[in-house]
Structure 1
Amino acid sequence: MTLQVYKSDNETNLTAVYFYKNSLKDIKLEAKLKDNNYSFYFKPSDVITEKFYLKKSGNNFDGFWYDAKEKQLAVHLEPVNFDNYKSNLKIRFDDERLNLVKYKFLEFKKQKTTLYNNKEFVWYSEKHCNSDFFRLGNNFTEKNKALINPILERIHIENTLAQLNCTSSFEYSQGKGIEGNSTINFLNHDLLGFQISMFWDCGGAHPDFGSSGYLIDLNNGKQYGIDDILAFDKSVTGDSENNFDAFSKYRNDYFAPKLLDVINSQEHFEKPKNEDDYCDYTNAEYWRYAAWNYTEKGIEFTPSFYRAARNCEESFLVPFERLRKYKNPKFPYSL
């Protein structure tokens, strides 16, 4: 269980989430604090189906759990010793430490083997939720597998944890709050390209969807972003974490307008005449953070619209020959 307490001048707000080792799916609780007494409720459709009454003593909590029929179980909580959950895996989540606990209970099982460009890919599922992903199979070199499979495993673990953490206070998670699929779209001696598409509904007012493209160097494990592949200006930077201003300026001044020009030269977009038509592909703003997908025939780009116009998001394939003049000089391979 994780409990977070937010204190302001006049009030105290709490959030609480817990999971069982046999399911690993988060259960989100409403919480109240009075004096030193903590009350947690799971309350779908405004009906309490389980509750905790706990009292804090030092760093521990003691009390009872009740179900809807008032069945009672004693509860004792104490701080997690994270020394028992050390991992070399870099998991990218705000609640990383609790994910280290959950990670230890993940179970991946081989499901099937597929071929792409005569190379073998082995697909795995995770026991506790809908989370399928692949690894390199037997006819890849040992060096390729040693370098790339840990990267693919980490991606699978991150996506699995996101799925298990996707929950709402309105219903129990079935491990389906994030659904998606992965497709392999490019493979040669040096590069592996694939796309992960997802739809998620984790209890908020608006479900959402999106996709992410990946291009991984089979020789060294480097993951290339779109700014590593294409450079519409020498000021190109893919480093949004350490220099967001420069990254944002490049995307706004060069990437978006020039990418739109390239795509528009083949698609011939027209500005919508009807003000109720939100799908304005002539607006460079929607291309600033376009999703991309590296394929055998070229790179697919999908403009990023605001949430209410998300259905406007359509993919447009730009053949490699149209992009070669914009190849980033630091990208070590031809397009």
Structure 2
Amino acid sequence: MKKYFLSLFLLYSTIAICQSKIYYLEGTLGKSTIFMTVQVYKSDNEANLNAVYFYKSSLKDIKLEGKLKDGNNFTFYFKPGDNITEKFYLKKSGNNFDGFWYDAKEKQLAVHLEPVNFDNYKSNLKIRFEDERLNLVKYKFLEFKKQKTTIYNNKEFVWYSEKHCDTDFFRLGNNFSEKNKTLINPVLEKIHIENTLAQLNCASSFGYSQGKGIEGNTTINFLNNDLLGFQVSMFWDCGGAHPDFGSSGYLIDLNNGKQYGIDDILAFDKSVTGDSENNFDAFSKYRNDFFSPKLLAVINSQEHFEKPKNEDDYCDYTNEEYWDFPSWSYTEKGIEFTPIFYRAARSCEEPFLVPFEKLKKYKNPKFPYEFK
């Protein structure tokens, strides 16, 4: 996992260095409204293009390959398999792009694109990376609809789906207090929005998105007067070399809307820090030096792991490195931890429940609630 964060940092650092220009465009393809991101990279005196576009009506990304000629003539095409199913011929003039779109049967439609006026899409949505700015556009057109109501610990949860893709998520229902709903439902809506945008952005060069590239489910695992715990598990296949899967645990304070990370809940040393964004070195050192060995010791006291004797057995649960960034879920009986293995051994990942009684001595002093 540490290597993953380092690779991600290097990837975006390299992109930032090589990237020469990025365009955010909106306009028309025939009678349809579309939005497009065009990225131009220069490497060894060659220009490389990436482009993604989506229709206002669907919001699902379509990834395009591209070529640039004479600095202003752009060719983009979508080529799943060996067949080009659509292509753009666009010429840049000033800040605008004009030209034509063709389908596989050479049907032609006029295209006009100009810079996106982001003043029309202002919101409190936070953008992590520069090339995600068109999420501000998608956000404006999201539509959530009520699907069903479920009961957990005698409390009502209302589940919503999003019109454009296959995502559903819950909000607090009628028998929660108005204070709870006012504080927590915006937090839950934000998570639903993030998951929805991830689904809409899940695009492949091998086929058109059906809004189902990320499959998953949400499970409510804990509820009392103060805390709501749930887990989001996902399997995604967005066109990379390998599909992948993972889960995220959430624990939300019903009294103030605060979201607790695992380091807010447990402290295996006074150097504990959950601030990976501002001090990743300290965060990583704590996880490596204290969190992983002590968590493994606690789990091993009940599981009695043994180091595999067969070289073909990848499931070495005695290796501390697999426990430094585990996924977790706060449940009624304790906290479940799932070690994170390298890709070839991902099948080894399974949850291990640690009862609250075994974790009491490690409760973070700043965590305001007792383990029960």
Query: Where on the TM-score scale, by shorter chain, does this alignment land: which range?
Result: over 0.9
The Cα shift of 1:296 comes to: 0.3
Pair 1:79-2:119 in alignment? no
CA-to-aligned-CA distance 1:94-133 (integer Å, 9 cap, x gap):
5342001011111111000000000000000011111000
Contact kept, 8 Å, 2:273 with 2:282, in 1: the verdict is yes
CA-to-aligned-CA distance 1:249-302 (integer Å, 9 cap, x gap):
110110000000000000000110100000000000000001100000000000
2:68 alignment counterpart: 33
Contact kept, 8 Å, 2:127 with 2:133, in 1: the verdict is no
Choose which of 3, 8, 24 in structure 1 pairs with 2:43.
8
CA distance in structure 2 between the partners assigned to 1:10 and 1:104 by the alignment: 39
Pair 1:217-2:259 in alignment? no
- Which amino acid counterpart does residue 29 of structure 1 have in structure 2? L
CA distance in structure 1 between the partners assigned to 2:59 and 2:169 by the alignment: 19
CA distance in structure 1 between the partners assigned to 2:105 and 2:125 by the alignment: 42
Listed as ranges, the gaps of 5+ residues in structure 1 are: none
- The correspondence of residues 121-270 of structure 1 with structure 2, limited to 5 A, is 121-270=157-306
2:369 alignment counterpart: 333
Contact kept, 8 Å, 1:91 with 1:158, in 2: the verdict is no
2:325 alignment counterpart: 289
CA distance in structure 1 between the partners assigned to 2:61 and 2:131 by the alignment: 12
Structure 1, 91-100 or 149-158: larger mean CA deviation: 91-100
CA-to-aligned-CA distance 1:169-209 (integer Å, 9 cap, x gap):
11000111111000000000000000000000010111000
Kindly report the root-mean-square deviation, in angstroms, between the aligned alpha carbons of the 2 structures: 0.9
SS at match of 1:233: coil
- Which amino acid counterpart does residue 337 of structure 2 have in structure 1? F
The Cα shift of 1:21 comes to: 1.1
Fraction of identical pairs, as percent: 89
Listed as ranges, the gaps of 5+ residues in structure 2 are: 1-35
Residue 115 to residue 91, structure 1, CA distance change in 2 (3 Å): farther
- Which amino acid counterpart does residue 8 of structure 1 have in structure 2? S
CA distance in structure 2 between the partners assigned to 1:261 and 1:177 by the alignment: 38
Q: TM-score, normalised by structure 1?
A: 0.99
1:23 alignment counterpart: 58
The Cα shift of 1:93 comes to: 5.3
CA distance in structure 2 between the partners assigned to 1:27 and 1:330 by the alignment: 46
SS at match of 1:224: coil
Contact kept, 8 Å, 2:64 with 2:77, in 1: the verdict is yes
CA distance in structure 2 between the partners assigned to 1:160 and 1:30 by the alignment: 25
Residue 269 to residue 187, structure 1, CA distance change in 2 (3 Å): same
CA distance in structure 2 between the partners assigned to 1:9 and 1:204 by the alignment: 26
CA distance in structure 2 between the partners assigned to 1:255 and 1:166 by the alignment: 33
CA distance in structure 2 between the partners assigned to 1:275 and 1:296 by the alignment: 37
CA distance in structure 2 between the partners assigned to 1:60 and 1:308 by the alignment: 46
Contact kept, 8 Å, 2:61 with 2:202, in 1: the verdict is yes
2:101 alignment counterpart: 65
Structure 1, 82-91 or 19-28: larger mean CA deviation: 82-91
CA-to-aligned-CA distance 1:213-262 (integer Å, 9 cap, x gap):
00000011100000000000001000111111111111011000000000
CA distance in structure 1 between the partners assigned to 2:252 and 2:131 by the alignment: 27
- Which amino acid counterpart does residue 164 of structure 1 have in structure 2? L
The Cα shift of 1:92 comes to: 4.5
The Cα shift of 1:22 comes to: 1.2
CA distance in structure 2 between the partners assigned to 1:191 and 1:109 by the alignment: 26
Choose which of 320, 327, 330 in structure 1 pairs with 2:356.
320
The Cα shift of 1:46 comes to: 1.6
CA distance in structure 2 between the partners assigned to 1:76 and 1:216 by the alignment: 46
Q: TM-score, normalised by structure 2?
A: 0.89
Pair 1:280-2:280 in alignment? no
